[in-house]
Structure 1
Amino acid sequence: MDATPEFDFFPPLEPRRSGLLRLDDLHEIYWEECGNPDGIPVVYVHGGPGGGSSPDKRRWYDPDAYRIILFDQRGAFRAKPLGEVERNTTQLLVEDMEALRKMLDVDKWLVTGGSWGTTLSLAYGQTYPDACLGFVLRGIFLGSPDEIDWFMRGMRRFFPKAHDDFIGWIPQAEKHDILTAYEKRLFGKDADARMDAARRWFKYTESCSLLRHDPDLVEEAVKNDPVVYGTGRLDAFYFRNSMFLEPGKLIRDIGRISHLPVMIIQGGHDVIAPPAAAYAIHRAWPGSVLHVVADAGHSPSEPGIRSKVIQTIEYYKRNKRFDAAALQASGPV
């Protein structure tokens, strides 16, 4: 099967099999597999951390060529229990990915992900480099204190209305520490207050994701209660714990995976994950290919991002590598 000339989605498809993988006495993660069971194994690593893998992500991959694996991380979307932060760390998520790979009897897989999914993909690859064929990473986020502070405070420079909506309802006495104010409500006893705080957090994220703001898309997104709840709680929890990463670790340990091919796709006007992080990874990773989509923000739904991701995955199935000049010449983006 071939993608369209514009590298648009492949047709809708359903999983061949799916299930819940029991991790311990508390957590189960959802997984699914579709496409060609004998194809190139590829795994999608979702953002958030609590965002989950939406069904449209299946359509990034040629189902004739790829064995497509999606999963929801601890506490996310269809994982159980939803929004759970106990025993939920980056290191445990890395081990969950490895447990899933072994359970599915995958030798090596192409690791693809966006936003927080790039953070986890890099952490996984640096822990288990021999399990990876390569990487397709969109909207690099390295989990640094600067990036977290930028999300909480800095994005108001570009999205003042969205930021005002994000903090305006917080009492003045608590505005000096917005993260703590949100945590108080996201993890309080009142279920309605937890959901309200999660929805406000999620709406802020969605409102700042698009280069061309679309209020209808934002309002539609905030109706998905499991994704909203998981994202709000896990985002705040991971922010509080510095994403469970040592400062600079993902750059420092790039040598563990620098022999593997990688394509980095970055929105040129990405406010949630600004391009500086993508450039830092590109500079640290010899042979990496960086493509900046000039007319795009953070969201994978933007046409330029979606097209470039699909084009890259199409290129990999034929060449098992990435080449900047060839990808630039192989079709529209």
Structure 2
Amino acid sequence: MYPEIQPYAHGFLNTEDGHQVYWELCGNPEGKPAIFLHGGPGSGCSAVHRRLFDPEHYKVLLFDQRGCGRSTPHASLDNNTTWHLVADMERLRREVLEAEQMLVFGGSWGSTLGLAYAQKHTERVSELIVRGIFTAQQPELLWFYQEGASKLFPDYWEDYLAPIPVAERGDLIAAYRRRLTGTDRKVQLEAAHAWAQWESRTITLLPNKAQRREQSADESALAFSRIENHYFVHQGFMEEGQLLRDAHKLHQIPGVIVQGRYDVCTPAVTAWALHKAWPQAEFHLVPDAGHAFDEPGILQHLLAATDKFAGKVPA
């Protein structure tokens, strides 16, 4: 990745409906405008995400989506939907990036949000890079949170099941919802850590202790788990299959799709369906990678994509 850098500007977007959304600008103030969309929803941005863009060529905006990271109020579910986030992106484009168009880069949940924004504001997207494709459809949610991935990780699955009584295990997302939105702090945190740990243990092809530490703090785990569960209870606040149905709106946008073949969190079947629905985009199915963006084959293609769209290599 590119060397570590610090933001040259940062602040908060007042959404005027109860949220203060943290944002930062990195790189070259005169560079190509780009926005980075983190995963989760609920995980927040980190310094390593700045390093996916050549700082000499890009003016990059990173922001912590509603309720997570440095945004406030912490772990809030009020006025927190996909379409609130899309509206935040549009304001950030106008008021902070001050750009007519911007490159949109998102992985995992960030791919969901990137696709939603690009389909609603197609004329504002100069290029679209998505990784670890997730579209919040019911089969995707059931695979990872009810039954499917459980068969590959039975040991980790037991820990995910532990906070939920047997009688409630027929709908695990709903059972977690009751605990994550309850008033018992101890119960909340037990559920939050179990939910977050299940994902952090399974997103890399090989075990990665750094990924497990990322949401080990109580407040990080709570924001991540509450917000993610909130979105999944509501299936991303979208119609079933909406993002694939409307992929034809992307056909004029230059794009890159990157997917790990052994991605257990967001299986490759969804990326393949997006590739078929948006054939104009480059498609890279990495043969020896899981879900995380920093696995070598995935990272290589992501950096190549940002370099290409910066004009550093021939299109």
Q: Same fold (TM over 0.5)?
A: yes
- 1:316 matched residue in structure 2: 309
**1:92: Cα distance to partner?**
1.1
- Equivalent in the alignment of 2:69: 77
Distance in 2 of aligned mates of 1:149 and 1:28: 32
Q: Which residue number in structure 2 is paired with residue 41 of structure 1?
A: 33
Secondary structure in structure 1 of the residue aligned to 2:182: coil
Does residue 13 of the first structure (1) align with residue 1 of the second (2)? no
- Please say if 1:173 is aligned against 2:184: no
One-letter code of the match for 2:104?
V
When structure 1 is superposed on structure 2, of 193-202 and 276-285 the one drifting more is 193-202
Partner in structure 1 of residue 265 of structure 2: 272
Aligned counterpart in structure 1 of residue 182 of structure 2, from 158, 182, 188: 188
Q: How far apart are residue 258 of structure 1 and its match?
A: 1.0
Whole-angstrom distance in 2 between the partners of 1:278 and 1:225: 33
Question: What is the Cα deviation at residue 54 of structure 1?
Answer: 1.2
- Counterpart-to-counterpart distance in 2, 1:79 and 1:305: 28
Q: Is the aligned partner of 1:131 residue 2:116?
A: no
Q: Equivalent residues in 2 for 1:150-229 (5 A)?
A: 150-152=143-145, 153-214=147-208, 216-229=209-222
Matched residues in 1 for 2:237 and 2:269: separation? 21
1:187·1:194 contact (CA, 8 Å) conserved in 2?
Answer: yes
Is 1:55 aligned with 2:47?
yes
Task: Measure how far apart 1:23 and its partner are.
Answer: 0.1
Q: State the Cα distance separating 1:169 from its structure 2 match.
A: 3.4
- In 2 relative to 1, CA 48–219 (structure 1 residues): closer, same or farther, beyond 3 Å? closer
Find the aligned partners of 2:32 and 2:154 in 1 and give their Cα distance.
44
String of CA shifts for 1:219-249, please: whole Å, max 9, x gaps: 4223244432211001111111111011121
Question: 2:244 pairs with 251, 262, 265, which one?
Answer: 251
User: Which residue identity does 2:131 align to in structure 1?
Assistant: R
| Pair 1:302-2:295 in alignment | yes
Residues 169 and 194 of structure 1, relative CA distance in 2, 3 Å threshold: closer
* CA distance, structure 1, for counterparts of residue 29 and residue 112 of structure 2: 27
Q: Which residue of 2 aligns with 1:66?
A: 58
Question: Relative to structure 1, is the Cα distance of residues 240 and 103 closer, same or farther in structure 2, using a 3 angstrom cutoff?
Answer: same
Distance 1:131 1:320 in 2: 23
Query: Which stretches in structure 1 are left out of the alignment for 5+ residues?
Result: 1-8, 323-333
SS in 2 for 1:33: strand
Matched position secondary structure for 1:123: helix
User: Is 1:108 the equivalent of 2:95?
Assistant: no
Q: 1:218 deviation in Å?
A: 4.2
2:307–2:313 Cα contact (<8 Å) kept: no
Tell which deviates more after alignment, 176-185 or 205-214.
176-185
On the 8 A contact 2:43/2:69 being kept in 1, the answer is yes
Tell me the distance in 2 between the aligned counterparts of 1:158 and 1:234: 26
Name the residue aligned to 2:110. Answer: 117
Per the normalisation by structure 2, the TM-score is 0.95
Which deviates the most, 250-259 or 145-154? Answer: 250-259
Q: How much identity, in percent, do the aligned residues show? A: 37
Q: Is the 8 A contact 1:76 1:226 kept in 2?
A: no
Q: Secondary structure at the match of 1:276?
A: helix
What is the rounded CA distance, in whole Å, between the counterparts of 1:203 and 1:66 in structure 2?
34
- Distance, in Å, in 1 between the alignment partners of 2:123 and 2:219 is 34
**1:233 — aligned with what?**
226
> Root-mean-square deviation (CA), in Å?
1.5
Structure 2 counterpart of 1:149, which letter? Answer: L
Q: In 2, distance between residues paired with 1:190 and 1:169? A: 13
Q: TM-score, normalised by structure 1?
A: 0.90
Question: 1:291 corresponds to which residue?
Answer: 284
Give me the whole-angstrom Cα distance separating, in 2, the residues matched to 1:175 and 1:285.
Answer: 37
